[in-house]
Structure 1
Amino acid sequence: MSRFSVALALTLAGVAAAAAPADAALREFRSPTGKLACMFYSDERVPRQVRCEWRGGADRAVQLNETGKGRRIKITDTVFNPDAKPLAYGKSTTFGRLKCTSRRSGITCKSLRSGHGFTVSTTKQRVF
């Protein structure tokens, strides 16, 4: 994990910018075009969550944890990482009870526990 990723994860988690907790988990991915970027994160203080951003988002993102509803948030950092692995169209990735699927129309992330989630593209964001 790069220093940038650790610092970003700590900011995302809302904890002090120090060494990441020993049980911290972080995984980044992006759309094949690179216009959407997402990050899964958790540690002993922060439940599993996923956050996605889009190019031109004007400091906005969408976020979801395993038990809550998807929500729009204001951000001061970014999860865009050019080295993040692309999630091919039609493919899904999971992190605990969170599942994200990439489609040409955008990325949909859903909690398999609560049924809530979000869909994000560069032109439209929907939380449910």
Structure 2
Amino acid sequence: MIILTKAAVCQTAAFAQEPPKGFRSPTGNIQCLFYDVSSVRCSIATVSNRLAHRPADCELEWGHDFGLEASSKEGEYLCVGDTIADDYPVLPYGESARHGAVTCRSARKGVTCTNIEGAGFELSRSLQRVF
């Protein structure tokens, strides 16, 4: 039996009406922001695994932010000096948010964002990967 609170129904309805500029996972650990016509940046606050190796040319924050554009052949790790954290609406588990050619799906195991080429990234506390 599934019980939806009034807030959950309103949040789900908001995604059905128009794409959000950003969203957060139900736990709040992952936040994503859509840019331009078809790109997304997601940030994961807490991870339990070892971060990917920092490239020598990155002197800023590394390993928690990921990006994807409509024409990308692979998602990418981002070297960033800012934050996208905001009070975005929750994207409930099992729901998707689409922005142009980029789609992000929320699941209990994390958030996966892909483009029409099949490239993207998958984020969870225990796994961060680009493909």
Structure-1-length-normalised TM-score: 0.70
Question: Which sections of structure 1, spanning at least 5 residues, go unmatched?
Answer: 1-25
Q: Deviations over 1:82-120 (max 9, x none)?
A: x200000000010001000000111000002x1100101
Higher strand share: 1
User: Which structure's CA Rg is the greater one?
Assistant: 2
**How many angstroms does 1:65 deviate by?**
0.1
Query: RMSD of the alignment, in Å?
Result: 1.9
Residue 21 of structure 2 corresponds to residue 31 of structure 1: no
The answer to which structure, 1 or 2, has the higher relative contact order (CA under 8 A, 6+ apart) is: 2
Instruction: Give the percent of matched residue pairs that are identical in Structure 1 and Structure 2.
Output: 37
Aligned amino acid, residue 35 of structure 2: Y
State the partner residue of 2:68: 64
Aligned amino acid, residue 115 of structure 1: G
Match of 1:78 among 72, 83, 88: 83
Match of 2:100 among 85, 96, 99: 96
**How many angstroms does 1:123 deviate by?**
2.4
State the partner residue of 1:125: 128
Question: Which sections of structure 2, spanning at least 5 residues, go unmatched?
Answer: 1-19, 48-60
Q: Deviations over 1:64-83 (max 9, x none)?
A: 000112011111111111x2
